[in-house]
Structure 1
Amino acid sequence: MPLVSGHDVIAECTSRGLVAGAFNTTNIETTMGIAEAIERTGVPTFIQVAPTNVVLSGYEYIYDMVARRLAECSVPVALHLDHGKNLEAVEGALEARFTSIMIDASETPYEENVTTSAKAREMCGESVSLEAELGSIGGKEDEVGPEHAQGTDPDQVSEFVRATSCDMLAVSVGNVHGYAPDARIDFELLGRVREASPVPLVIHGGSGLPEEQFGRLHEYGVVKVNIASELRNAMIRTFGEAYAADPHEHSLIRVSRTAVENIADVVEHRIRTFNPSAL
């Protein structure tokens, strides 16, 4: 089916008690692997790309690649801008027909975050879902990270959502971008944030969290969990292992197809760990 709005993914996941994965793509192999896993599980999903990963292709190429593959898929999927750090990134993704947007002004002072996020809301209109971030998530995304990580303040949540009219709220509750083996969700803080938030929550940095924590997230109003590092590692590892096994390997298509399968396995595993009682 054609790509759907993030609103549709949120609504279906909420009605079915599911948590949507949000999987970052950069190239055709990653996109094909994500799509294959979505078809295996039947869970509505976000496919996303960050501005740091469109420097090679641009937003239009990402849209064309994802939309063409998902036209054959019966599961609702939204194409999401991940960590749009400014309104120019939002504009570029919207012009390329992305169906969901994240504006991340979380490293700016609170009032500036509100103002920027509210402007992004205006740009998206009613048909495109908007994710905003309150609190600053630590770690690095594509070697870029905040100067200071800061947990989400539950006392700011309700007013922030009201002022920005965001549809999803990305929160900092112990989650860390990238591989962070010591990262743990603070469920006490997450519970307080959930009580204050009128919209579903988003957890970034899923690649570094222990699996046993994933199955609890739906109980705390989480509708979306981001996974990027694991997919990229699966891609790089596949090509590295092929070269290590045979430095004269020259069948790019064979190794690429193996990468697709490895990525699909990672994505399917993650979707199932997010939804242990539903799948």
Structure 2
Amino acid sequence: MPLVSSTEMLQQARREGYCITAFNVHTLEMLQAVVEAACEAQSPLILQTTVGTIKHLGVGYVTAMVRVATEQSSIPIALHLDHCHDYGLIERCIQAGYTSVMMDASMLPFEQNVELTRQVVELAHRSGVNVEAELGKVGGVEDERIVAKEDALLADPNECEQFVAATGVDTLAVAIGTAHGMYQGEPRIAFERLAQIAQRIPIPLVLHGGSGIPEAQVKRSVALGMAKMNVATELRIAFSQSLKQSFAERPSENDPRHYMKLAKQAVKEIALDKMRMCGCVGKAANH
């Protein structure tokens, strides 16, 4: 089936109280692994690429790989551009076939974030493309952007309500204490703040920094309105550790078809676990 916009997918997830996992992929093998996992789990799927991954692979290669994946799958798949603040790149990705984009102007003053997001909404909605934005500052490292722990800021419920009304954005990533990368200790999610935000805005909310969050905290976040959870670092770690183990055990190995197969399986297992955790297993038939 063709690529779909994530708008209706995520709206339904929020209405019905589950969450769709969105996986950042950087190689063909990682993409294959999460697609295979979603097909096995019969789960809707959001594939994501960062700006850095597009620089690494190229927009054309990404969309070609995803197009093949959709042709060979019966589950709904959306393709999302993650954490971008470049209007020109967003426009290129939409033209190339992306069905969801994120204008991340969260580092700028509120008024500028509103204006830039509104511009992207006007562009994207002409093509039926979902737009995600962010309020607050999620800590950690995402591509080349680093937000120190002391600089991370929780999203303000009043600002969230004003922002959605002013921009017409489809989904909103809200900073509630999670972080990009792996956690040094157990994350401290501001559930009360999340509940306040969810009560004020009806659109699907997005949980960034989904790697390493304990299952109980994920499920509580979903119950409070999170409809999309981003997972990146755990996939990279599983993929890399599998490769390292392969070379440690078989130093003379030189056939990528052997060690990539093991790396793919490692990523697939993580993906399956996250889908189960988010409650989207078996939901593909609903879309």
* TM-score band w.r.t. shorter chain: over 0.9
| One of 263, 267, 270 as aligned partner of 1:266 | 270
Opposite residue 223 of structure 2, the aligned amino acid is E
- 1:140 and 2:141 equivalent? yes
Long gaps (5+) in structure 1 = none
Alpha-carbon separation, structure 2, partners of 1:76 and 1:17: 18
CA contact (8 A) 1:181 1:209 kept: no
Query: 1:59-98 CA distances to partner (integer Å, 9 max, x unpaired)?
Result: 1211111111121111111000100122122112112110
Alpha-carbon separation, structure 2, partners of 1:254 and 1:267: 21
Supply the RMSD in Å over aligned alpha carbons.
1.7
In structure 2, relative to structure 1, the CA distance for the partners of 1:270 and 1:14 (3 Å cut) is: same
Alpha-carbon separation, structure 1, partners of 2:42 and 2:236: 23
Opposite residue 156 of structure 2, the aligned amino acid is D
Alpha-carbon separation, structure 2, partners of 1:112 and 1:119: 11
Q: Could you tell me which residue of structure 2 aligns to residue 121 of structure 1?
A: 121
Q: Could you tell me which residue of structure 1 aligns to residue 59 of structure 2?
A: 59
In structure 2, relative to structure 1, the CA distance for the partners of 1:278 and 1:184 (3 Å cut) is: farther
Opposite residue 69 of structure 1, the aligned amino acid is A
| One of 202, 210, 218 as aligned partner of 1:198 | 202
- For 1:2, what is the secondary structure of its paired residue? coil
Q: How does 1:8-87 map to 2 (within 5 A)?
A: 8-87=8-87
Percent of residue pairs bearing the same amino acid type: 34
Alpha-carbon separation, structure 2, partners of 1:43 and 1:185: 26
Q: How does 1:171-250 map to 2 (within 5 A)?
A: 171-182=174-185, 183-250=187-254
Long gaps (5+) in structure 2 = none
In structure 2, relative to structure 1, the CA distance for the partners of 1:197 and 1:220 (3 Å cut) is: same
- CA shift, 1:145, in A, is 1.6
Number of residue pairs the alignment of both structures matches: 279
TM-score (norm 1): 0.95
- For 2:147, what is the secondary structure of its paired residue? coil
- CA shift, 1:24, in A, is 0.4
Q: How does 1:152-163 map to 2 (within 5 A)?
A: 152-163=155-166
- 1:94 and 2:98 equivalent? no
- For 2:47, what is the secondary structure of its paired residue? strand
More divergent stretch after superposition (121-130 vs 224-233): 121-130
In structure 2, relative to structure 1, the CA distance for the partners of 1:276 and 1:35 (3 Å cut) is: closer
In structure 2, relative to structure 1, the CA distance for the partners of 1:43 and 1:276 (3 Å cut) is: closer
Structure with the larger RCO, 1 or 2 (CA within 8 Å, 6+ apart): 2
- For 1:56, what is the secondary structure of its paired residue? helix
Query: 1:89-132 CA distances to partner (integer Å, 9 max, x unpaired)?
Result: 21121121100111100000000000000001011025111111
Query: 1:159-191 CA distances to partner (integer Å, 9 max, x unpaired)?
Result: 100111111010000110111133221111111
Alpha-carbon separation, structure 2, partners of 1:137 and 1:89: 22
Opposite residue 129 of structure 1, the aligned amino acid is N
CA contact (8 A) 1:86 1:105 kept: no
Opposite residue 39 of structure 1, the aligned amino acid is C
- CA shift, 1:12, in A, is 3.8
- CA shift, 1:17, in A, is 3.0
